[in-house]
Amino acid sequence: MIRRHVVVRGMVQGVGYRWSLSREARRLGVHGWVRNRADGAVEAVAEGPDEAVAGLVAWCRSGPGGAQVSDVEVTDEPPEGLTGFEIEP
């Protein structure tokens, strides 16, 4: 079980990025949350099996069709035992 904090920069708001990321997280069995930041980035926490979280982070590097990702910052954090995946405002 691992936990990663992810910040995605580029044209990632207003293109369905949060919704698409949450759908992909649920498909992979990853728990956590995703939200828009005031600086235009999208921020997420992903927690789950190593391979599933790595798959979600890889997905973040391209995102949904309308996104233009310029940078993905990933930080490891201690797992908290999250359940479900939430889209926050």
Residues belonging to the active site = 18, 36
Q: Is 70 left (phi over 0), alpha (psi -120 to 50) or beta?
A: alpha
Cα distance between residue 88 and residue 62, in whole Å:
21
